[in-house]
Amino acid sequence: MMSAGELESGNAGEPAKLIRQRYREAADMIKKGKMCCLFINDLDAGAGRMGGTTQYTVNNQMVNATLMNIADAPTNVQLPGMYNKEENPRVPIVVTGNDFSTLYAPLIRDGRMEKFYWAPTRDDRIGVCKGIFQTDNVSDESVVKIVDTFPGQSIGMFLTTASGVRRRGAQVGDLYRYREHWQEAGELAGRTSDL
């Protein structure tokens, strides 16, 4: 697993080398008969360009080039200075992101990247929110009511709201006690809360 923060470094080439290294480690696990993939979280935040305020660094270029090279030759991934004629197993690379349009266009074209857009259903949202509020002992009925109160909101809104309540030293368990916070979240979401 890699995060966006690992895709930049003060040392030129380090992030690209790290991608290759992690890919090879995953390939070694596959050779041993274990299922494995390389998971890069928030690729767009680490390798994307966010308008004119984001520098396009040597590391950005090398990360994009490395990922394109791996996509084009997934069984021949080499580490710098170590060249092996033996092919490595192909490793699936799974990346997450919010805006892939910020990535280098040839990297995301069909054939190099297969894209799946997750649009969570109501049941998906309820399941994820049960996980979010599990440690707070929020009842399943309350979770359903919360999800139904904010049907168009991202999962992130529920995380942010729960985190805000917890930061204030409160327990989310008795949600109705904190309806002001949910009211505020609903107003930010363009809705008012029935809680």
* Residue 163 is assigned to a structural domain of this protein: yes
Domain for residue 116, yes or no? no
Q: Which residue has the higher pLDDT, 128 or 139?
A: 128
Do 133 and 98 share a structural domain?
Answer: no
**Is 173 domain-assigned?**
yes
Q: pTM for the whole thing?
A: 0.69
What CATH number is associated with residue 143? Answer: 1.10.8.1070
How would residue 54 be classed by pLDDT, with cut points 50, 70 and 90? low
37 part of a folded domain = yes
Residues 6+ apart with CB under 8 A from 146: 129, 133, 138, 158, 175, 182, 195
User: What pLDDT shows up at residue 192?
Assistant: 40
End of a domain among 108, 133, 151?
A: 108
97 shares its domain with 17: yes
Does residue 55 carry a pLDDT above 70? no
- Of 77, 108, 139, the position where a domain reaches its end is 108
195 contacts 175 by C-beta, under 8 angstroms: yes
**How distant is the alpha carbon of residue 72 from its chain centre?**
23
Beta bridge partners of 39: 94
pLDDT of 191 reads 47
Shared-domain flag, residues 63 and 11: yes
Q: Which one, of 135, 125, 129, 144, lies nearest residue 172 by Cα? A: 135
Asked whether residue 76 carries a pLDDT value surpassing 90, the answer given is yes
Chain segment 24-46, per-residue pLDDT in tens? 999 999 999 999 999 999 998 88
Question: Is there a single domain that holds both residue 22 and residue 102?
Answer: yes
- 19 exposed, middle or buried (CB, 10 Å; 0-12, 13-18, 19+)? buried
Q: Which residues sit opposite 95 in a β-bridge?
A: 40
**Residue 102 is part of which domain span?**
4-108
Within-domain flag for 29:
yes
